[in-house]
Amino acid sequence: MWHIGQHWIGKAGVAIAALVMVGSEGRLSRAPVLARSAHFDTPLASAAPSILDRDGFDRDEVRDQPDQRDRRQRTVYTYDFPSFHSQRLDEQLAQYTAYLKTHGPPDVLILGSSRSLQGIDPQVLAATLEDEGWGEVTVYNFSVNGATAKVVDVIFRQVLDPEHLPRLVIWGDGSRAFNSGRPDATYERLTASPGYRRLVTEGDRPIQSIVLQSSPQLSRLLRGQAEPSCWPAENPEASTVDPWLSSSGDCAPAPSPIATDLTPQGFLPIADRFDPAVYYQGFPRVSGQYDGSYVPFQLQGEQTQASVAIVNYARQQGIPLVLVNLPLSQDYLDPVRQSYEQQFQLHLRQLAIAQGFTLVDLNQPDFQRNDLFADPSHINQVGAVLVSEAIARDPMVPWEVLLEP
């Protein structure tokens, strides 16, 4: 049995050889081999057309835009389920329910942390899949800031109803989400939240709560120009008087408004371009040996156990799982972090073999250019295009599931 540790890094070639032998037994386990040998040298130098090269997409204009996060137009929903102590998770639940009402479950659901939230663009992924001949594909990005494997496990297996799951799941993240040696503050807040208590004690899923798209009255309320005199009933279609009244004629309880800066497909586009000379004028440069994302570093533990639970649940639901190791910027990857990342890459390859999921490892030099990032570890809008296209064109991802009736 292979053991994860720095002293095994020199054995990577042997590990890859072992992957080749195991890969002949099943398609899912071959991805770690082909991803590196046949995939990573193509996206930036490939003859395949990119959305970045199409008319109307000005790469430099997008990169040079100032940060618009505080001024970005927000979509407002009403939401009546207790909070999960995560603003982004609450937003995603509100918006995803509205998405389901309009489109039904997506063909592809993206899970992960903020790295996938702004690193995998659903619209680009769908457009590239159509270009590749897979037809019209619907994609939603349900990533949440700070989500570790344990958080993704709760979202995927407990929060979301099986009826609202996709044909294929893409889980995009990196070593931080799998490091069992560091405290998991996001998971602790989530499991201590009133939303989670209601989930586990009453069996209620938030997807079943009322989530209605923004109305003129709600917009005026948020601007302080109206009072919440009456709100939609729990089942407005059943009301014969007025959808803003309950079946008894009384006003229904007012749900809470919630606003999000995400696209309708759950993506967070960030145009900032990471320039180390400028970035570190405002933020301290931290060496890898003092980086809390790595120190202490433990890959065997509760996060790996959560990962296995996710894989097993996906298999039970008949949903192929694709795990994407997202890139980090070349400036961020000092020798200490690079060593940890090499351990993590080997760990993922072993896990993919043992559990039978597809692994796409994009933490490779072609994707580590500083100009593809918004900060040292988060991809910007241009980088997200390249990452999304690379995923869509990877031959080892079982896209054929999208063609099944």
What's the pLDDT score for residue 60? 41
Return the closest-CA partner of residue 356 out of 301, 307, 283. 307
State yes or no: pLDDT of 387 exceeds 90. Answer: yes
* DSSP E strand boundaries for 132-276: 139-141, 168-173, 256-260
Per-residue pLDDT of 180-211, as tens digits, reads 999 999 999 999 999 999 999 999 999 874 34
State yes or no: pLDDT of 142 exceeds 90. Answer: yes
Q: Residue 255: which pLDDT band, with cuts at 50, 70 and 90?
A: low
Rounded Cα gap, residues 390 and 402, in angstroms = 18
What's the pLDDT score for residue 221? 42
Token reading at 282: 């405002």
* Cα angle value 320/326/330 (rounded, 5°): 165
Q: Residue 224 carries which DSSP code?
A: T
Return the closest-CA partner of residue 148 out of 199, 114, 196. 114
Mean pLDDT of 30-57: 44
State yes or no: pLDDT of 301 exceeds 60. Answer: yes
DSSP string for residues in 86-141:
-HHHHHHHHHHHHHHHHH-S-SEEEEESHHHHTTS-HHHHHHHHHHTT--S--EEE
**For all residues of the chain together, what is the average pLDDT?**
79
Task: Answer yes or no: are the C-beta atoms of 132 and 393 closer than 8 Å.
Answer: yes
Weakest mean pLDDT among 9-13, 183-187, 357-361:
9-13
Out of 65-74, 225-234, 380-389, give the one with best mean pLDDT.
380-389
What's the pLDDT score for residue 138? 98
What proportion of the chain, given as a percentage, has pLDDT over 70? Answer: 70
State yes or no: pLDDT of 212 exceeds 60. Answer: no
State yes or no: pLDDT of 245 exceeds 50. Answer: no
CATH of domain 26-70+96-206+264-277+297-310+320-327+358-403: 3.40.50
Rounded Cα gap, residues 205 and 83, in angstroms = 12
What's the pLDDT score for residue 29? 29
Task: Answer yes or no: are the C-beta atoms of 122 and 162 closer than 8 Å.
Answer: no
Mean pLDDT of 83-88: 95
Token reading at 257: 């408004």
Q: What residue has token string 């991802």?
A: 397
Rounded Cα gap, residues 138 and 347, in angstroms = 31
Enclosing H/E stretch for 76 = strand 75-79
Measured in whole angstroms, how far is the alpha carbon of residue 132 from the centre of its chain? 22
Weakest mean pLDDT among 42-46, 106-110, 395-399:
42-46
State yes or no: pLDDT of 346 exceeds 70. Answer: yes
Number of H helices and number of E strands within the chain?
15, 9
For the chain, give the longest Cα–Cα distance. Answer: 73
What's the pLDDT score for residue 49? 67
Weakest mean pLDDT among 215-219, 261-265, 342-346, 384-388:
215-219
What's the pLDDT score for residue 58? 45
State yes or no: pLDDT of 360 exceeds 90. Answer: yes
What's the pLDDT score for residue 307? 98
Q: Residue 57: which pLDDT band, with cuts at 50, 70 and 90?
A: very low
Q: Residue 14: which pLDDT band, with cuts at 50, 70 and 90?
A: very low
State yes or no: pLDDT of 259 exceeds 90. Answer: no
Q: Residue 80: which pLDDT band, with cuts at 50, 70 and 90?
A: confident
Q: Residue 233: which pLDDT band, with cuts at 50, 70 and 90?
A: very low
Mean pLDDT of 151-163: 97
Task: Answer yes or no: are the C-beta atoms of 51 and 57 closer than 8 Å.
Answer: yes
374 in helix, strand or coil? strand
* Cα angle value 146/342/109 (rounded, 5°): 40
The model's pTM: 0.78
Mean pLDDT of 310-321: 98
Token reading at 106: 């997506």
State yes or no: pLDDT of 239 exceeds 50. Answer: no
Token reading at 94: 């509100």
Residue type, 117: L
Rounded Cα gap, residues 172 and 168, in angstroms = 13
Residues 6+ away with beta carbon under 8 Å from 47: none
What's the pLDDT score for residue 75? 86
